Amino acid sequence: MINMIKADIYRLVRTKGFYVALFLMLLMMSVSIYLVQPGAVSMTGEIPSNSQAYPMDQITAEDYSNMSVSQMREFMLGSEGYMLDVDIAAANMNLYYIFIFIAALVISADFSSGGVKNTLSSAISRRKYFISKALLVNICCVALLFLNNYLAHFLDIICNGKNLAADLATITKITLLQLPAILFVIALQTGLAFLLRKTSVFNTVVIPLVLIFQLLLSIAVMIFDINDKYLYYEIQSMLSNMTADPTKRYILNSCLLCFAAAAVCYAVGYISFKKAEIK
Amino acid sequence: MREIVLQTRQLTKRYKDSAALDHADITVYRKDIYGLIGRNGAGKTTIMKIVTGLTSPTEGEFEIFGKTGESAGNEKRRIGCLIENPAFFPNLSAYQNLKYYCLQKGIPGDTHISETLEMVGLKDSADKKFKKFSLGMKQRLGIALAMLDDPDLIILDEPINGLDPIGISELRDTFRRLNREKEITFIISSHILSELYTVANRFLIIDKGKIIKEITKEELDLECKRCIVVRTDDTKKLAAVLEKDLGITDYKVTDSMELRIYEQNDDPARLNKMLVGRDINVSSLFESGISLEDYFKDLVEEVRS
């Protein structure tokens, strides 16, 4: 299994897609740090800030639209008590799209190229194959989470000064609190990669999945008048809420929910892969 | 007694209503070069896929290196294979692709890769990306992967597809050499029967998932050799007449009703007359001797009818 992971790392670092993923992550972070506000991919386009001191809440939409980029930056830099690095972490659902690269490169590319045949026919069993692939996707994606949160913190200090940054302990705590939700996102993509196998099918399903899920959820909320508290457990809300000093009960419920959902995703992926005829 | 490398028992693979493989019993011995002969969709690849774990059988079982079931999976490392088309990562070079599988299998050092690439004639293209390879080069790299780990059993599905005549000849020599020097067992399928004939020592003829015949090269030679086939109710008496009265010694009793004479005979009608004159009850006498292709076609048609 270790050999399998070593081999995949050897391949991964020789693949352009891996560097494109890193570049996109750094690009998103750099734009956020320059504009002094996080960006997010979501249905509403709303920035998932939990900060009480979010400066944009203090100005009107008209003022906001009349501001140039440099004026906006000046305005944000003058804000007291706003922590940009925390809000960048709150928008970590963005990483979902970066993780697609990793899952596609580690798992789907093997199925699309047919390389999986070579491995399964003469190297290791399907169980070990599944575990090693899932393990590598987890290692890469968790590393990206830590890289994203810590790099945002340090770049924020370097570019915008200490006033707009939280302390390192807070960033570490947020990162660890976000871990269960991130592990669920990884499990979802790993499960889907093993279920759908071919890269094109995987991408077609997984890219719009979050937006479709959020759309269906909004419709369900409207039709069935669902209690708002259940929406706190939606994955994007969960990642965002973990940055806003959540209660112990909320943390526990989120962890249980994420781990259970992750287990289901892995089980579906594994069972489907175990039964599949490799072409 | 020869060591058995692979033995299948009633191996069956069904897809909905059709059977890709129907109760197949085959035996491959150590040091065999075992040729699988069959038309498209005959079940050759299905046998290979089941044995290598790419698909599971619907019924039956197989024993590989003396192991069955779950423990057979542990013997995978002793197998090298190329099934269907050669599959590699297009963005990696030939060398990097093999390095990937070396890391995966825990094969140390890089000399092995260079040696294997040289063996299949790809040493000069080691740094060329797989996506830029021609069909023949891809095929060679697939064969290189199958040989990479010095396996005990190499399974090759249509290995000479897309290769030029010189490449085919070189690979044929490589297979023979590995079989002779390293005692590697080969299972090779091919549509090109003449090519398979030149390397294999045992053959499996398969059609529509059913095993038609398992035959050695010597038996195949005898079946295809020019001869006169005599059918009679008493082959012992016929053999005695041939030896004592006609001085014919190069013959073979193929079953209780049939005898084949391989000795040159220009006049079968005269032979028939002589046999009848010696009180041999000849039910039929005809000339035989066919090409491998014709033999295969006749056999398939015979089974179908």
**CATH code of residue B235:** 3.30.70.100
What pLDDT does residue A52 have?
57
Collect all residues of chain A within an 8 Å Cβ-Cβ radius of residue B105: 3, 122-123
* Cβ distance of B54 and A114 shorter than 8 Å: no
Alpha-carbon gap: B257 to the closest alpha carbon of chain A (Å): 46
Of B55, B76, B85, the CB nearest to A123: B76
* Cβ distance of B104 and A109 shorter than 8 Å: no
Residues B56 and B152 in one domain: yes
Residue A53 has pLDDT above 70, yes or no: no
* Cβ distance of A3 and B151 shorter than 8 Å: no
- Position B268 in a domain: yes
Q: Would you list which residues of chain A are within 8 Å, Cβ to Cβ, of chain B?
A: 3-4, 6-7, 10-11, 14-16, 109, 113-126, 277-279
Local confidence band at A54 (pLDDT 50, 70, 90 cut-offs): low
**Rounded CA gap, A162 and A164, in Å?**
5
Q: Which of B281, B244, B242 lies closest to B263 in space, CA to CA?
A: B242
* Cβ distance of B103 and A3 shorter than 8 Å: yes
What pLDDT does residue B121 have?
81
Q: Which residue has the tokens 């398969």?
A: B206
Collect all residues of chain B within an 8 Å Cβ-Cβ radius of residue A127: none
Local confidence band at A140 (pLDDT 50, 70, 90 cut-offs): very high
* Cβ distance of B80 and A15 shorter than 8 Å: no
Residues B91 and B26 in one domain: yes
Percent of chain A with pLDDT over 70: 92
- For B185, other C-beta atoms within 10 Å of its C-beta total 24
| A213-267 confidence digits (pLDDT tens) | 888 888 888 888 777 777 788 888 888 888 888 889 989 999 999 999 999 999 9
Of A6, A122, A125, the CB nearest to B80: A122
Alpha-carbon gap: A214 to the closest alpha carbon of chain B (Å): 36
**Rounded CA gap, B275 and B282, in Å?**
8
State if pTM tops 0.95.
Answer: no
What pLDDT does residue B162 have?
75
* Cβ distance of B104 and A7 shorter than 8 Å: yes
Rg, chain B, Cα only: 23
**Rounded CA gap, B87 and B141, in Å?**
9
Q: Which of A180, A178, A166, A185 lies closest to A239 in space, CA to CA?
A: A178
* Cβ distance of B100 and A117 shorter than 8 Å: no
Residues present in chain B in total: 305
DSSP for A138-177, please give it: HHHHHHHHHHHHHHHHHHHHHHH-GGG---HHHHHHHHHH
Q: Residue A277 gets which letter from DSSP?
A: P
Residues B83 and B128 in one domain: yes
Q: The domain containing residue A106 runs over which residues?
A: 2-275
Alpha-carbon gap: A9 to the closest alpha carbon of chain B (Å): 9
**Rounded CA gap, A33 and A25, in Å?**
12
Residues B47 and B161 in one domain: yes
Give the SS3 label for residue B212: strand
Collect all residues of chain A within an 8 Å Cβ-Cβ radius of residue B149: 122
Residue A45 has pLDDT above 70, yes or no: no
C-alpha pair distances (Å), A32 with each of A88, A98, A160, B19, B48: 7, 16, 11, 60, 54
Collect all residues of chain A within an 8 Å Cβ-Cβ radius of residue B80: 122
Residues B174 and B240 in one domain: no
Q: Which of B120, B72, B88 lies closest to A119 in space, CA to CA?
A: B88
Collect all residues of chain A within an 8 Å Cβ-Cβ radius of residue B64: none
| A158-208 confidence digits (pLDDT tens) | 988 888 888 899 999 999 999 999 999 999 999 999 999 888 899 999 989
Alpha-carbon gap: A35 to the closest alpha carbon of chain B (Å): 37
CATH code for the domain of B117? 3.40.50.300
What pLDDT does residue A178 have?
92
Alpha-carbon gap: A111 to the closest alpha carbon of chain B (Å): 10
Alpha-carbon gap: A4 to the closest alpha carbon of chain B (Å): 5
Average pLDDT over residues A138-162: 91
CB A49 within 8 A of CB A38: yes
Mean pLDDT of chain A: 85
Residues B144 and B247 in one domain: no
Residues B52 and B190 in one domain: yes
Residue of B nearest to A8 (CA): B100
Q: The domain containing residue B251 runs over which residues?
A: 226-288
Residue of A nearest to B147 (CA): A122
Percent of chain B with pLDDT over 90: 7
**Rounded CA gap, B122 and B95, in Å?**
9
Tokens in use for A117?
């045949």
Give the SS3 label for residue B250: coil
Of B87, B105, B149, the CB nearest to A117: B87
The 3-state DSSP composition of chain A as helix, strand, coil percent (nearest 5) reads 80, 0, 20
Collect all residues of chain A within an 8 Å Cβ-Cβ radius of residue B88: 113-115, 118
**Rounded CA gap, A95 and A141, in Å?**
9
Low-confidence stretches of chain B (pLDDT < 70) are 265-266
Alpha-carbon gap: B171 to the closest alpha carbon of chain A (Å): 20
What pLDDT does residue A181 have?
92
> Which secondary-structure segment (H or E) carries B33?
strand B33-37
Average pLDDT over residues A47-58: 60
Q: Which of A69, A32, A60 lies closest to A164 in space, CA to CA?
A: A32
Collect all residues of chain A within an 8 Å Cβ-Cβ radius of residue B103: 3, 6-7, 10
CB A21 within 8 A of CB A102: yes
Alpha-carbon gap: A135 to the closest alpha carbon of chain B (Å): 15
- Position B119 in a domain: yes
* Cβ distance of B87 and A115 shorter than 8 Å: yes
**Rounded CA gap, B24 and B62, in Å?**
10
- For A152, other C-beta atoms within 10 Å of its C-beta total 27
What pLDDT does residue A55 have?
64
Of B54, B80, B105, the CB nearest to A120: B54
Local confidence band at A136 (pLDDT 50, 70, 90 cut-offs): very high
- Position B151 in a domain: yes
Looking at the structure of chain A, the number of domains it has is 1
Pairs of CB atoms within 8 A across A/B? 84
Of A16, A113, A121, the CB nearest to B81: A121
What pLDDT does residue A133 have?
95
Last residue of a domain, which of B171, B205, B220?
Answer: B220
Alpha-carbon gap: B136 to the closest alpha carbon of chain A (Å): 18
C-alpha pair distances (Å), A252 with each of A245, B126, B234: 13, 54, 90
Of A121, A126, A277, the CB nearest to B79: A121
| A56-67 confidence digits (pLDDT tens) | 666 677 776 777
Instruction: Give B28's strand partners.
Output: B6
- Position B232 in a domain: yes
Looking at the structure of chain B, the number of domains it has is 2
Residues B145 and B35 in one domain: yes
Residues B126 and B232 in one domain: no
- Position B42 in a domain: yes
What pLDDT does residue B110 have?
79
